């Protein structure tokens, strides 16, 4: 998967594609509406990239204090974007 369009198309599948990074798997489950599975992908990880996805998920959940904690861990600032725009921004970043 190399493009945003391909990623979005994959949301029609039952399972995420093979070879996705943990961050993309998390965003895939989020795109499918399964916040719990999305969160489980990054919950125990401490690297900056996983922390960024983790922050987004807590922002989506409405837990802004927790989101800001994870944005700080990711060395990011909570964006002033819609959740959908942030989801796409994250996808573009991780798709490279």
Residues 30 and 18 sit within 8 Å (Cβ to Cβ): no
- Average pLDDT of the chain, as a whole number: 96
First to last CA, the chain: 10
**pLDDT digits over 57-92, tens only?**
999 999 999 999 999 999 999 999 999 999 999 999
Instruction: Give the dihedral sign, CA 13/33/8/54.
Output: negative
Q: Is the pTM of this model over 0.85?
A: yes
User: Which letter, b or e, does each residue of 34-68 get, where b requires 16 or more Cβ atoms within 10 Å of its Cβ?
Assistant: eeeebbebbeeeeeebbbbbbbbbbbbeeeeeebb
- How many Å apart are CA 9 and CA 1, to the nearest integer? 10
């Amino acid at each position: 998967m190399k493009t945003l369009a391909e990623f979005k198309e994959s949301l029609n599948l039952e399972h995420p594609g093979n070879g996705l990074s943990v961050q993309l798997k998390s965003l895939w489950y989020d795109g499918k509406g399964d916040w719990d599975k999305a969160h489980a992908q990054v919950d125990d990880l401490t690297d900056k990239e996983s922390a960024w996805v983790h922050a987004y998920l807590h922002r989506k959940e409405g837990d802004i204090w927790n989101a800001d904690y994870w944005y700080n861990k990711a060395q990011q600032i909570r964006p002033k974007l819609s959740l959908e725009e942030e989801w796409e921004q994250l996808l573009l970043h991780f798709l490279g």
